[in-house]
């Protein structure tokens, strides 16, 4: 049976990790880029687990054989199709145990020897946690700005230009505020956040810089590593300034227009505002925001939230950062991106001269 270490997997061209765990396990966390070809459904896994606990290991293994046997041809066909497209499938499960060994054995008997990841996902996670601190020994260009100033769009445009961007909100699958999961899938947990952060850093490892947003330590369900927090505080800071009108336009486009016809929209909005309300002490402001929500005047709702809640909190957090700031107007994203790209190129040249 062919076996492969995590380090070998990461160096392999056109590698496609094949996760043979159940769908619910795969959804919780996986190796980025993996495909799920499960040996058992969620219900079958639960049944086998119950047999193992309540009857015996032998009974569980026999039932597993009964379930898997009819599936083998189709399962191998799916994995073979990955290979036929010029990719390199690598089989893994939770810890490199029975499931991945079984699938690798079936493949070998079928004349399709394919490697199995030693230690499975657990070995992968251990590897990335060991590597992340050294991968974060870089310099950071950090974007600051009030909510709606266009930081996320700027990062996206810079990434499209091939610049070393870490989009923490994208990695966390959360926009970093009380309304951060609005209209999105469930936020990533810590395991997925760490895996996607590693993948991003691995992609941009040749650059001495990273470009990132000044996010809070916790984003959704995930917490940034201490090394990243330090990198951010010691970075080169860029403040994006933007008119209130443009900020309201952007937030309306991002949070309101795509979802306003959804049945859950108003309910979700009201639930999210309850969390804000607990932190607001200004009763008059609360009454005005509630009235805007009742009237479905979403632009006024957004502006009042910015003025009474988000902007004061942001101004307080900005005091955590020392050192000089660049100031860029972000009413027009294209111009802001161009100016930030120029700053990046100048800082990159300085770094080359020092080295």
Read off the tokens for 25: 């396990």
φ/ψ (deg, to 5) at 234:
-95, 10
Q: Which helix (H) or strand (E) holds 215?
A: none
Residues 337 and 158 sit within 8 Å (Cβ to Cβ): yes
- Cβ-Cβ contacts under 8 Å for 120 (sequence gap 6 or more): 92, 93, 94, 95, 96, 97, 100
CA pair distance 254, 250, nearest whole angstrom: 6
Residues 244 and 303 sit within 8 Å (Cβ to Cβ): yes
Residues 79 and 37 sit within 8 Å (Cβ to Cβ): yes
CA pair distance 132, 139, nearest whole angstrom: 15
Q: Which helix (H) or strand (E) holds 169?
A: helix 168-172
φ/ψ (deg, to 5) at 241:
-105, 140
Among 34, 93, 136, 192, which one carries the catalytic annotation? 93
Burial 306-332 (b: 16+ CB within 10 A, else e): bebbbbeebeeeeeebeeeeeebebbe
Angstrom distances, CA of residue 237 to CA of 15, 116, 208, 336: 37, 45, 16, 14
Read off the tokens for 34: 């993996």
Write the DSSP symbol of residue 189. Answer: -
Q: Which of 352, 336, 346 is nearest to 144 (CA)?
A: 336
The answer to whether residue 93 is catalytic is yes
Read off the tokens for 89: 């499938």
- Cβ-Cβ contacts under 8 Å for 288 (sequence gap 6 or more): 304
Mind telling me the catalytic residues?
93
């Amino acid at each position: 049976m062919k076996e492969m270490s995590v380090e070998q997997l990461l160096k392999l061209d056109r590698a496609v990790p094949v996760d043979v765990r159940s769908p619910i396990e795969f959804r919780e966390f996986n190796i980025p880029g993996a495909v799920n070809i499960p040996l058992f459904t969620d219900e079958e896994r639960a049944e086998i687990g119950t047999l193992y606990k309540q009857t015996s290991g032998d009974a569980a293994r026999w039932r597993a054989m009964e379930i898997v046997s009819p599936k083998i041809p189709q399962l191998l066909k799916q994995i073979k199709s990955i290979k036929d497209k010029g990719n390199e499938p690598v089989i893994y499960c939770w810890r490199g145990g029975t499931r991945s060994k079984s699938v690798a054995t079936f493949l070998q008997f079928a004349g399709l020897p394919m490697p199995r990841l030693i230690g499975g996902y657990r070995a992968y996670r251990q590897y990335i946690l060991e590597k992340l601190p050294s991968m974060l020994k870089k310099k950071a260009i950090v974007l600051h700005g009030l909510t709606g100033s266009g930081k996320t769009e700027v990062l996206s445009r810079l990434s499209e230009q091939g610049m070393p961007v870490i989009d923490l909100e994208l990695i966390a699958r959360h926009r970093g505020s009380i309304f951060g999961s609005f209209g999105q899938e469930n936020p990533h947990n810590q395991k997925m956040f760490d895996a996607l952060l590693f993948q991003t850093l691995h992609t941009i490892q040749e650059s001495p810089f990273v470009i990132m947003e000044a996010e809070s330590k916790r984003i959704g369900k995930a917490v940034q590593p201490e090394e990243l927090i330090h990198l951010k505080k010691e970075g080169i800071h860029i403040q994006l300034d933007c008119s209130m009108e443009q900020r309201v336009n952007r937030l309306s486009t991002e949070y309101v227009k795509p979802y306003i016809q959804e049945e859950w929209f108003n309910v979700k909005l009201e639930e999210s505002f309850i969390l804000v309300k607990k932190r607001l002490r200004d009763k008059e402001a609360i009454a005005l925001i509630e009235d805007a929500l009742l009237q479905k005047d979403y632009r006024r709702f957004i502006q009042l939230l910015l003025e009474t809640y988000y902007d004061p909190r942001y101004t307080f957090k900005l005091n955590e950062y020392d050192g000089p700031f660049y100031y860029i107007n972000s009413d027009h994203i294209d111009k802001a991106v161009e100016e930030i790209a120029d700053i990046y190129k100048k800082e990159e040249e300085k770094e080359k001269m020092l080295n």
